[in-house]
Structure 1
Amino acid sequence: MISVPRWLLLALAAMFSGYHVVLGVSSLATRAPASPWPVVVALVLYSVATVLSLWPTRRARMPDWLAALDLAVGIVLPVLVTSQLDPDAENGYATWYVAAVGTLMTIAAARRQLVVAWVGVLVLALQTLLWAGPLALGTLGVVGSIVWVAIAHMLSSALAGAARATRRYAQAEREAAAWQAAQDAHLFEGRMRLAQTQRLASPMLRRIAERRLLTDAERAECRRLEAAIRDEIRGRMLLTPAVRAAVRAARERGATVTLLDEGGIDDLDEVERDRILSRLAEALESTAAERIVVRTAAEGSAVAVTVVGLSGADADLDSDEAEVALWLEIPRAAGAFAEER
């Protein structure tokens, strides 16, 4: 894509605007009006408005106060200059104000003040029509000024539409990249879980295929293996070598352990997560509860992981006779209070 430096556009606009000032000054020398002061005031007003309009800023849209100033100058300029001209005479360069107003309104249109630009050239056309008649609209260049504003309007609208489309495409690209990253993460995690499951299950599956019949100890080992595989699916971030070892030890003594990771610790850094999971492993090793439920808390909670251990009455969670053997809330922040009983 070919791009034009902004400074070059500003320089061209400044040169074009300065040309109108040169024509206005030369008209004072070639066609001396009855009083030069209205033309001088018009030149000063036009120069000030042009400099302010072309002054480099980060904001593309012209401020409203500057647009109002340009419109006021565009209305006053024809009145000041034509007050010293004869509409029936050949005024030559003395009608420089027509192109000057057209240029000023074109700059306003390019800087997204379209209403001001159109009002300015329409007022210029009306003033010319009242001052010199309908033929003067073509001979003085008013039609050309209107055409330039129309071109600037179309270009400004096209560029604004392109900018909006670019923003939409950029947002869509970011969303597509985020979706692709999430899919890659899910795929990687799925492969990792599959590899972990294969590593756990392959020896037992080969043993089953070889022997056909299993002993009671091997059946118990299969149940523990199934629970470990279930942990890999539902436990996710709760699993470390220490936690796996503690869970396995608890199951070997006959306890039922359930790990539920609901994403509550996904946003923690590795140091904080290791601290929390080390405390979890210690709690699992020290408890004698018959049923243990480990669950991550919701995001935004001060608690990272909740551990509940029950004993008695088959350790049923819905049983009124179950006794709470362990209640532990591991905080997200180091040094915070962990409630345990």
Structure 2
Amino acid sequence: MISVRRIIVGIALAFTGYLALRGLWWTEPPVQPLVIVAALSLYLVTIWLCIFWEPRRAQIPSPVDGPPTGLIGGSRTRLPRWAGVMALASAFIVPTAIAVAVRPEDRTDPFATWYLGGIGVLMVIVMVRRRPWVAWIGIAALAVGSIYWMGLVNAMSLGLVGSIVWVAATQLMLLSIDRAARDTAQLAQLQRAASAWQASQSGRQRERRIQVQRALAVAGPVLTRTVATGGALTDEERTQAHLAEGRLRDEMRGPRLLDDAVHAELERARRRGASVTVLDEGGLDGLDEAALGVIRAELAETLRSARSDRLYIRTSPDERVAVTVVGRSASGETLSDEDAVDLWREIDHPPTR
């Protein structure tokens, strides 16, 4: 299967091969051909290592984790330091070696100027492998060496400008890729947040439907009887309406605290005339049914022995306390805010296994 990485690697190999052949295509016999061959060998080994070398334990980050590292597309890791040192060595050695190996009048011939493009390609690969400082130092070394041996005008006209432009364009392209990767990561996070919000809204909608069904089950018969009699209810029916109202409030304000035993004790407290308030203010999230069962059983036991005129049952966000039950009784003939607290019970979270 042909991938973008393979295409880019193939182009890089073809270009380096062309430059190597150009360096061996002598129009005039060089003074030291072995030096030229050695310089070409150093160049080819270095650039092939920069293209293919990858540490075995390197892990490739996904676009969500951050910008890609390595070859365009993020499929390679950062260039090792020792390979960067070899690339710098080539940038410093090759121009001088070629210039020394040929006659001074041949230093502007194609077989003696191939390194202007060759080192430029090498530094482009180093830039792609995420070593920008190495790439720019290598370009600076290439500029100094070529200008020293062939002059500023010849160096600029024979390929130095192109190499500088290649490296600069590559860095700009990588910056664009990194920005696109960051944008992709942000969009992925926003998508996950939107999915989570949609899931929570769906859960709340299901919970509201369940609460409406419970309300209809609890209050429906009483409302039907009230409408049928025109509001003329007996004392027992009024009591049932009061109990239905209280049960409906309990179902809407604290459904996680309720089971049959708790329902029965709440109804018993209301039948004897107590005012009961049930509020779920958080703190029970993440508890399984077994833990909730323990809390409900202890709550039912607490309500069973309660004799207070007003009962307040609240969940607690405290790490230790799950539910707080407070009972107050009238100090006089009527209930007021000055009533004495005659019941205080904190129900702890069950120990985790």
Q: TM-score range by the shorter chain?
A: 0.7 to 0.9
Among 74, 84, 88, the alignment partner of 2:101 is 84
- CA distance, structure 1, for counterparts of residue 284 and residue 28 of structure 2: 84
Match of 1:183 in 2: 201
CA distance in 1, matches of 2:5, 2:320: 53
C-alpha change, 1:38 and 1:137, in structure 2 (3 Å) is closer
Match of 1:309 in 2: 327
SS of alignment partner, residue 313 of structure 1: coil
Matches within 5 A, 1:231-250: 231-250=250-269
* Per-residue deviation, 1:95: 3.1
After TM superposition, the structure 1 = structure 2 runs for residues 101-120 of structure 1, keeping only pairs within 5 Å, are: 101-120=119-138
CA positional deviation for 1:98 = 2.0
- Indicate the residue corresponding to 2:74 in structure 1: none
Q: Distance in 2 between matches of 1:29 and 1:293?
A: 101
Distance 1:101 1:132 in 2: 16
For residues 49 and 316 of structure 1, the distance between their equivalents in structure 2, rounded to whole angstroms, comes to 90
Look up the SS of the partner of 1:327 in the other structure: strand
Q: Which residue of 2 aligns with 1:40?
A: 38
Instruction: Give CA deviations for 1:154-205 in whole Å, capped at 9, x if unaligned.
Output: 3322222221221121111111111211222222222222222122222111
Q: Give the conservation status (yes or no) of the 8 Å contact 1:255–1:289.
A: yes
1:132 paired with 2:150, answer: yes
Tell me, in whole angstroms, the C-alpha distance in 1 between the residues paired with 2:244 and 2:221: 11
Deviation at 1:138, TM superposition (A): 5.4
Matched residue SS, 1:307: strand
Q: Does structure 2 retain, via aligned residues, the 8 Å contact 1:200–1:229? A: yes
Unaligned runs of at least 5 residues, structure 2 = 61-68, 71-76
Structure 1 position 71 matched with structure 2 position 70: no
8 A contact 2:30–2:102 mirrored in 1: no
Aligned length: 331
| 1:15-34 alignment, distance < 5 Å | 15-21=14-20, 24=23, 26=24, 31-34=29-32
Closer/same/farther in 2, CA of residues 31 and 241 from structure 1, 3 Å limit: farther
Letter matched to residue 45 of structure 2 = S
Tell me which amino acid in the other structure corresponds to 1:62: R
- Displacement of 1:265 in angstroms is 0.4
Q: Which has the higher mean CA deviation after the structures are superposed, 309-318 or 78-87?
A: 309-318
What's the CA shift string for 1:1-31, capped at 9, x where partnerless?
xx9343553454345435545555x369973
Deviation at 1:258, TM superposition (A): 1.5
Find out whether 1:62 has 2:78 as its counterpart: yes
One of 131, 142, 160 as aligned partner of 1:142: 160
1:101 CA displacement: 0.7
Q: What corresponds to 1:338 in structure 2?
A: none
TM norm structure 2 = 0.79
Q: Which runs of 5+ in 1 are unaligned?
A: 336-341
CA distance in 1, matches of 2:281, 2:97: 77
2-structure distance, mates of 1:256, 1:100: 89
Q: Which residue of 2 aligns with 1:263?
A: 282
Contact 2:91 2:119 (8 Å CA) reproduced: yes
Contact 1:289–1:310 under 8 Å retained in 2: yes
Contact preservation (8 Å) 1:254, 1:290: yes
Question: How far apart are the structure 2 equivalents of 1:190 and 1:302?
Answer: 29
Give the 3-state SS of the residue equivalent to 1:224 in structure 2: helix
How high is the TM-score relative to the length of structure 1? 0.82
Relative distance call for 1:36 and 1:229 in structure 2 (3 A) is same
Q: Which residue of 1 aligns with 2:293?
A: 274
